[in-house]
Structure 1
Amino acid sequence: HSHMVFQKPLTHPLTLFKMKLKEDLNPMLLLLFHLMVWIYTFITFLPYYLFSWVSEPVGGFCGTEEERAKRAKSISVLGCPEGPYRAVSATKRLVTSMHPGVDTLDKLFEYAAMRSPHSKCLGTREVISEEDEHQSNGKVFKKVVLGEYCWRSYKEVHTAAYQLSSGLAALEQQPKNNIAIFCETRAEWFIAAQACFMNNFTLVTLYSTLGGPAIAHGLNETQVTHVITSRELLETKLKAILSEVPRLQHIIVVDDTPTSWPGYPHGITVHNMAAVQKLGAKPENESCSKPLHPLPSDIAVIMYTSGSTGIPKGVMISHSNMIAGITGMAERLSYLNETDTYIAYLPLAHVLELTAEHIVVSLGFKIGYSSPQTLVDQSTKIKTGSKGDTSVLQPTVMAAVPEIMDRIYKNVITKVEEMNCVQRTLFILAYNYKLKQLAKGYSTPLCDKLVFRKIRSLLGGQLRVLLSGGAPLSASTQQFMNVCFCCPVGQGYGLTETCGTGTLCEQWDYSTGRVGGPLVCCEIKLRDWVEGGYRSKDKPHPRGEILIGGSNISMGYFKNEAKSQEDFFVDENSQRWFCTGDIGEFHKDGCLKIIDRKKDLVKLQAGEYVSLGKVEAMLKNCPLVDNICAYANSEETYVIGFVVPNQKHLLALADQYSIRGSFEELCNSKAMEELVLKVITGAALAAQLERFEIPRKIRLSPDPWTPETGLVTDAFKLKRRELKTHYQDDIERMYGGK
């Protein structure tokens, strides 16, 4: 398997386990395991060979990984190394829509509802009970016991959205005027979005994790008069800043209770969503507010970026932009069908989740809603002994940001480390055997059932595709998920400005560290970045800044023409392009690999360039590191880092050197800083990082970085500016007071 440019296979924990086997295991017992695998392979070879013509190999494409890699994913339409590159099936014409005449989001859902009116569409788990669980440290955790999923059909969802749309019109929401959704990911969010699209209300999305000032800024900048929210967010966040949002008139709460809302400022009326739907269902309102269908060029969503590099920008996305992006993704995922189930838990205010859920309805299968706090049996809000959402829903399709997959990977690796010698050896042998079979294009049903079934059950046991986006996924994590969860990990690449779409790996592509070829809706070309040393004429692969062009490219930034002019341009063929700021390289098979980012590149005082993202991605594979932010100042000669250590591994390291204290005390210990730095340095050297790239000093943080802390985005990407401010005193200390 190929690895990312910053990923060396020697650092893989399973490789370390294999190196220990000779010390841990009697040679005769090891030979016995190898013999068992050989006998199984021999016995199953003949029937597999004879009947292979009736059974489809992994991903439906025969041949070794090397042979599959030679199959072109995209080609340069002009034959130039810089491109533009297009999907093989779209070399003559980029695709803009899935179905004739379906060119806006309201038509897309209407088409889905007419095609499968009685099929399950949106599912929500019933809450059976809630209780407070008191911890030994005095903290109180909310725990829930949840029942089965309750489903609404496509027809029921369409009716609910239509009534809500009519009700909003009766409350004087005007077409082409902005309306905000400030709510957690749930079925009502999706219904509210469809209601907006039906009457051409421009939807403004706000993350539920935002703080008061950011909420007020978003509502005021977009001049909304109506906001849709939840009871919890209204009471904990929105209510406190109402005096700062003078234009706001109506608040629609998606929860059923309470039904009356006293104590709100004069001029603001609070409604239950059900009451607004009843208002819209009245004959006089339904007949007076026939949907004013949007045009493809109308703005569907003003979506604020995650703000990883500063103040979030509002990206204006038209209906035609969204339709093109959904079409491109749906074509690459055409093996999915109405029998599939998608689990939704990522923020719907993020382009990845909003696009994913529209892909689901375009293909006609169902969405079951969840949250990070109830996702699996071990999640924070699930009462011990009861089931998490994946166990009940048993999804076949799931989207995940790399941070979540990295956590799963590290947890399972820790469990493997705790196995006895025989169990660990069996796991490693099965892992290696399956890797070889995947490389040949074959499945391993016996290994899947006997060895990986328990791991697979962590996410419900029925997954057949995992979609990864939002940030780079490390090669070791991707390979691990491919093997242990018995399904391909489709790593993709896109941005808010491109409707979350750009590239996606094909189902049968088990290579790691790459993001696939361009989708049929867009094309990609490389632009030389001389300062960073990346050129399209580089060997063996052309490299440069990634530019994406096509109908999925958004209309620019809301009330920010200068930034729009900087990041977007229209070429001589009237095609719109977005300059991503990411550095990529195209492989011979037309597959794209992200290798750097312009904003992550820092020039040290001695002239060396350091890619902070590259350093972080490599060091995050160290078991001792849960999260890391590398930092460098151009006036200094070395890199420093802020590290969130893994609690279990840090305590074990402290015990090894007889250092006592709580987790927080250990993180503030100078001795522990030096020990962790020594481990990190060893991992960096093993991965062949240059000496000047390795952090020379670090600060350990006992508190994890979450969207609530404001130090990472909702997609768990680092907010470098906020992290720099947060650790300013430590930066001065690590740079000797400069």
Structure 2
Amino acid sequence: MDFQPVQLPWPYPAKLDYSRQSVAVPGTKKPGQTAHYRNATQPLLTVNSPNTFRHLQDVFQNGLHMAGPETRFLGQRTVLSTNPLKFGDYEWQTWGVVNARRKAIGSGLHKLFQDGVIGGTGLPTVGIWSKNCSNWQLLDFSIHAYNLVSVSLYDTLGKDAVEFIINHAETSIIFASAQHLPSLLKMSSRTPLVKVLVAMEPLSGETKNILESWGQERGIKIMQFHEIEDLGKANMREPLPTSSDTLTTICYTSGTTGNPKGVLLTQGNLANAVHSNIYGAVFEDQQPLLMSYLPLAHIYERVQELNMVAIGGAIGFGSGDPLRLLEDLQLCKPNFLPSVPRVLNRVVASGMAAGQAGGIKGALFNRALQTKLQRLRTTGEVKHAFWDRLVFSKIQAVLGGNLRIVGCGSAPITPSSMEFLRVALACDVIEGYGLTENCGSASRVLPGDPSSAGTVGPPTIGMEWKLVDVPSMGYTSEDKPNPRGEIYTRGGPCFQEYYKDEKNTRETVDSEGWMRTGDVGEIDSCGRFKIVDRVKNIMKLAQGEYVAVERIEALYSASPICAQLYVHGDSLQSYLIGVLVPDPVQLAAIASRVFSTKVTPEDGAVLVKACQDPSVKKALFAELHKEAAKNSLKGFEQIKRIHVSMDPFTVENNCLTPTLKLRRKDAYNKFKTEIDGIYAADAANQPRL
């Protein structure tokens, strides 16, 4: 195929103007909405712009061109033993090896489709149900090269959702981890289009024989990964011509209610998102290296890894065991780490514990922290030669000691946590915003912006934003001092339709290509956006007041005491109840004071007992009330009663989606007895906290 390398790096302007980060497009203001806003540093990027990627084959070829065939590319920790499970160091495949293997795997898949062994029922979909590993990316590269369509299944999806997606996408071949193959065979009578299952990792002889016999009974062929590759080597063909409009993946969103929606993303959508993301990134003295631990089934991690591909970087895959994450990081030593608040907040909590230790160490830590925070807030500088060496190098070493950029996405993070991370890690910690529907690439903060904490920055260079009035919630484009409204996005990374779902498509994408996000935003005087609310999840209390429970949850959750919080309202009741899952470190400190004895975060039984103690609950409630006061919540917006539990909301108990959004109905059902009991006790004039 004709390929022209993209000239990289593509740096930011020499001097960024942090007071003017996005600009209004003249003549676009209409009643009931703001003007259209674009990034102020560059013209709007499209797949037809000069010096850019048109599709994903351009992305791969560009990386190969920049890195060269002998440079490391995909790395994975070796398994030294399975019983007990032990891992060794990373083993790497070069760019040249990966290039040859993607062509072999793609040729094998092409042969199976061509011969009618698989396919024949709609789109040429290929299912993937596996943890992150080198073979996941190898398979995806082959799908891009041979115009196939990937369908990722989350490890944490429930059985019903897996069946729905397989049938909805009409998938006839699925690549899966060994532990998922029995599940797929069990459901085969309900997924009649599946003809071939491929093991992502080598199977033992005994396991292979059992699965093949079972597959024969079900009319399903069991294959191993190398067999697809060997078939391709015997039937090699070059990658197929492609275009920006070629569909490349159906990325299913895990809704809080109902079946997942299939987001159709093209090669152009993802290619444009990649170039929007790597704009400004410069790695002059070493090959960029990302460590992969967030699920590749989600768009956030998928795009971040494609960023590495485009610039000739390397990707190291961890063990897949959350308990070994720090061990993986210290071996891999990445300079780029896409992450999420639930992980980063643990870094914050561990670091802040040092400041509460007392004595000279605690005093030194707090002096270092305040000095660096002052410098950050005045100049945007995150490094300090003396304090980094003396104090913060220990925190940095925990994450490998080589970080240059940490990405933060998928959920909000508090401004105080963001500032702490920037000074403690002494690198750019870049918060962004996006949805599956816009390739997770709608906005991101500018590096070095001293006051960006609490915002998601300006639109990326491939996107336009506007805010549309939400009168029922009191948000308008004429609000002072800053316009507010529902966020609409448009641009190269934005999808155009849900698969086989005209109704939801019409409700989400308008005739001009604008995509409703369901999030309420505000644009500040610097042209940065803040996420302030959700359009949905508005409920009315008994006295007629409307409350936005998700917004209230977010505000209260800024308290260090909160590990998780669910806010419940009932239209027959006049006040809100909170279900608090406290942070063990904070709870242990409160319990120690109340019980006048040392309680540690590891004292599980004592912490459970503390959750029921009236004095402890009163102290927890006081901590939550500080957030209500800080945010000037009206009386009806404040939590009046709490139930405290050490039993968290999880994916496994169906209270969280695979992307860790709260399933409100299931969260209520989990604690229905306790919530209803609080309302009943108050009705009987038996006050409870």
Of 168, 172, 184, 1:221 maps to: 168
Report what 1:440 is aligned to.
379
User: In the TM superposition, what are the counterparts of 1:219-368 in structure 2 within 5 Å?
Assistant: 219-235=166-182, 237-259=183-205, 260-262=208-210, 263-264=214-215, 265-282=217-234, 285-287=235-237, 290-334=238-282, 339-368=287-316
Matched, 1:399 2:338: yes
User: In the TM superposition, what are the counterparts of 1:373-522 in structure 2 within 5 Å?
Assistant: 373-374=321-322, 380-381=323-324, 388-417=327-356, 419-438=357-376, 439-442=378-381, 443-511=383-451, 512-522=453-463
1:278 Cα shift? Answer: 1.0
Moved more, 292-301 or 207-216: 292-301
Deviations along 1:548-595, one digit per CA (max 9) or x if unpaired, are: 011211021111100100110132xxxx21011111111122111111
Report what 2:505 is aligned to.
564
> 1:336 & 1:624 partners in 2: Cα distance?
42
Deviations along 1:611-640, one digit per CA (max 9) or x if unpaired, are: 323332333333332111212233332111
Matched, 1:716 2:660: yes
Report what 2:87 is aligned to.
146
Of 78, 101, 105, 2:56 maps to: 105
Report what 2:477 is aligned to.
536
1:475 Cα shift? Answer: 0.6
- TM-score normalised by structure 1 residue count: 0.82
2:236 is paired with a residue of what secondary structure? helix
> 1:99 & 1:366 partners in 2: Cα distance?
26
Question: Does the aligned pair in 2 maintain the 1:569–1:577 contact within 8 Å?
Answer: yes
Report what 2:649 is aligned to.
705
Question: Does the aligned pair in 1 maintain the 2:157–2:658 contact within 8 Å?
Answer: no
> 1:672 & 1:381 partners in 2: Cα distance?
33
CA change 1:99–1:275 in 2 (3 A) is: farther
> 1:372 & 1:714 partners in 2: Cα distance?
16
> 2:251 & 2:673 partners in 1: Cα distance?
34
2:652 is paired with a residue of what secondary structure? helix
CA change 1:440–1:340 in 2 (3 A) is: same
CA change 1:475–1:215 in 2 (3 A) is: same
1:557 is paired with a residue of what secondary structure? coil
CA change 1:98–1:210 in 2 (3 A) is: farther
Of 147, 159, 174, 1:212 maps to: 159
Question: Does the aligned pair in 1 maintain the 2:341–2:412 contact within 8 Å?
Answer: yes
Matched, 1:647 2:591: no
1:274 is paired with a residue of what secondary structure? helix
User: In the TM superposition, what are the counterparts of 1:86-101 in structure 2 within 5 Å?
Assistant: 86-91=38-43, 93-96=44-47
2:521 is paired with a residue of what secondary structure? strand
Question: Does the aligned pair in 2 maintain the 1:178–1:224 contact within 8 Å?
Answer: yes
Deviations along 1:347-379, one digit per CA (max 9) or x if unpaired, are: 1110100111111111111111125635xxxxx
CA change 1:121–1:106 in 2 (3 A) is: same
Moved more, 484-493 or 681-690: 681-690
Q: Which has the higher contact order (CA 8 A, sep 6+)?
A: 1
Give the partner amino acid of 2:18. Answer: A
Of 64, 67, 75, 1:123 maps to: 75
Question: Does the aligned pair in 1 maintain the 2:45–2:276 contact within 8 Å?
Answer: no
2:456 is paired with a residue of what secondary structure? coil
Question: Does the aligned pair in 1 maintain the 2:354–2:361 contact within 8 Å?
Answer: no
Question: Does the aligned pair in 2 maintain the 1:332–1:519 contact within 8 Å?
Answer: no
Give the partner amino acid of 2:481. Answer: P
Of 566, 572, 593, 1:635 maps to: 572
How many residue pairs match? The answer is 644
CA change 1:655–1:90 in 2 (3 A) is: closer
Which 5+ residue runs of structure 1 have no aligned equivalent? 1-58, 133-143, 375-379
- TM-score normalised by structure 2 residue count: 0.87
Give the partner amino acid of 1:506. Answer: L
> 2:244 & 2:13 partners in 1: Cα distance?
36
> 1:509 & 1:231 partners in 2: Cα distance?
46
1:683 Cα shift? Answer: 4.4
Of 12, 18, 33, 1:69 maps to: 18
CA change 1:363–1:514 in 2 (3 A) is: same
Question: Does the aligned pair in 1 maintain the 2:355–2:363 contact within 8 Å?
Answer: no
1:275 Cα shift? Answer: 1.6
1:75 Cα shift? Answer: 0.3
User: In the TM superposition, what are the counterparts of 1:547-696 in structure 2 within 5 Å?
Assistant: 547-571=488-512, 576-658=513-595, 662-667=606-611, 673-696=617-640
1:389 is paired with a residue of what secondary structure? helix
Moved more, 614-623 or 579-588: 614-623
CA RMSD across the alignment: 2.6
Moved more, 341-350 or 399-408: 399-408
1:347 is paired with a residue of what secondary structure? coil
1:671 Cα shift? Answer: 6.5
2:186 is paired with a residue of what secondary structure? helix
Question: Does the aligned pair in 1 maintain the 2:354–2:362 contact within 8 Å?
Answer: no
CA change 1:591–1:652 in 2 (3 A) is: closer
1:497 Cα shift? Answer: 0.6
1:545 is paired with a residue of what secondary structure? strand
CA change 1:626–1:484 in 2 (3 A) is: same
> 2:87 & 2:314 partners in 1: Cα distance?
19
Identity %: 28
Give the partner amino acid of 1:106. Answer: Q
2:514 is paired with a residue of what secondary structure? strand
Question: Does the aligned pair in 2 maintain the 1:651–1:663 contact within 8 Å?
Answer: yes
> 1:324 & 1:367 partners in 2: Cα distance?
21
CA change 1:609–1:476 in 2 (3 A) is: farther
1:255 Cα shift? Answer: 0.5
> 1:344 & 1:322 partners in 2: Cα distance?
18
Question: Does the aligned pair in 2 maintain the 1:338–1:364 contact within 8 Å?
Answer: no
Question: Does the aligned pair in 2 maintain the 1:69–1:589 contact within 8 Å?
Answer: yes
Report what 2:9 is aligned to.
none
